[in-house]
Amino acid sequence: MTVVRIARLTLLSRLTPTVDSAQNRQTYTTFTINITSFVASGISTLVFTHGNWDCSVDDNVRNLQVRDSRNIILFSDPMVRILNCTTSITYTFSPIQATFGVSAIPVASRPANYTAAASGGTVPYKFSWSFDDGSFATGAFVSHSFAASGYHNVTLRVSDGNGAVATVQELILVWKKPNVTGNSCVRIFDVAQVALAYNSVIGEPRYDQRLDMNADGRIDIRDVAFLAFYHGSCGWQ
């Protein structure tokens, strides 16, 4: 969906139709063009040309926005730009691309660091986070801990200097605390219990839910390696 506030124009763009606005002198009018075939990814270009039936009057374009099917702003330009028969207006833009990563394996009740990155759009960027436990944070670098193990939704929202928005959501696996015996330290006995249950699955006698550190229904090398990595560490109450 392209939202254009403009006098009169012809909109020409790759894979887009030609649209004329009504003649209205130099008064701005607002209209929406629904372009179902336009794919705004990578570097995109929108070209506006003036209708050739009235070259004596200049028109202006302002507050152009490109939105996706969810009504999220992909590109925004608040500037007023002159349009006439000899001067077209070309918008070249790259919609915001947002990603984030986690610095270490998230463990229940232990903070993990989340780092955001963005490209495209118009700097500066603003970063906001929401976590499915009801917590929120702002900034490109944040720290957060989940109280419960299992999969959790983490959502990053990035807005640029013109109000364009990108959102990315990922399922983050939060591992159980590695002290399977219930004390505050990870001892060799913790690792040994997981090793003895190695290669067992739900329903088998050797399977113990406490030892399935990533709750995937199987006790395998990932669970053993997780306990071995934290062997000797304390403070897990």
Q: For residue 232, what is the domain's CATH number? A: 2.60.40.4130
Cα-to-chain-centroid distance, residue 136: 15
Domains identified in the chain, total number: 3
> Could you tell me if 8 and 70 lie in one domain?
yes
Q: Which of 119, 128, 215, 131 is nearest to 170 (CA)?
A: 131
68: confidence class by pLDDT, cuts 50, 70, 90? confident
Q: What is the mean pLDDT of residues 186-206?
A: 92
> Could you tell me if 186 and 155 lie in one domain?
no
Query: What's the mean per-residue pLDDT of the chain?
Result: 83
pLDDT over 70 (residue 5): no
> Could you tell me if 16 and 87 lie in one domain?
yes
Q: What is the pLDDT of residue 72?
A: 78
Q: Which of 60, 93, 126 is the C-terminal boundary of a domain?
A: 93
pLDDT over 80 (residue 27): no
> Could you tell me if 86 and 118 lie in one domain?
no
> Could you tell me if 160 and 187 lie in one domain?
no
> Could you tell me if 103 and 62 lie in one domain?
no
Contacts of 19 (CB under 8 A, 6+ apart): 10, 11, 33
> Could you tell me if 34 and 73 lie in one domain?
yes
6: confidence class by pLDDT, cuts 50, 70, 90? very low
Distance CA 7, CA 81 (A): 11
Instruction: Answer for the pair 67, 74: CB distance below 8 angstroms, yes or no.
Output: yes
Q: Give the residue carrying structure tokens 């015996």.
A: 181
Q: Which of 93, 117, 132 is the C-terminal boundary of a domain?
A: 93
pLDDT over 50 (residue 236): yes
> Could you tell me if 138 and 207 lie in one domain?
no
pLDDT over 60 (residue 52): yes
pLDDT over 50 (residue 32): yes
> Could you tell me if 165 and 182 lie in one domain?
no
189 vs 116, which has greater pLDDT? 116
Range of the domain at 169: 97-174
Q: Which of 143, 174, 205 is the C-terminal boundary of a domain?
A: 174
3-state SS assignment for residue 100: strand
Q: What is the pLDDT of residue 37?
A: 63
> Could you tell me if 128 and 148 lie in one domain?
yes
**C-alpha angle 154/164/146, rounded to 5°?**
10
Is 0.75 surpassed by the pTM of this model?
no
pLDDT over 50 (residue 56): yes
- Size of the chain in residues: 237
> Could you tell me if 34 and 69 lie in one domain?
yes
CATH code for the domain in which residue 137 is found: 2.60.40.10
* 83-141 residue pLDDT tens: 888 888 888 888 888 999 998 889 999 999 999 999 988 889 999 999 999 999 999 99
7: confidence class by pLDDT, cuts 50, 70, 90? very low
Go through 162-198 and write b for each residue having 16 or more CB atoms within 10 A of its CB, e for each that does not. bebbbebeeebebbbbbbbeeeebbeeebbebbbebe
Among 56-60, 129-133, 156-160, 227-231, the minimum mean pLDDT is found in: 56-60
> Could you tell me if 187 and 161 lie in one domain?
no
Most confident of 13-17, 73-77, 123-127, 163-167: 123-127
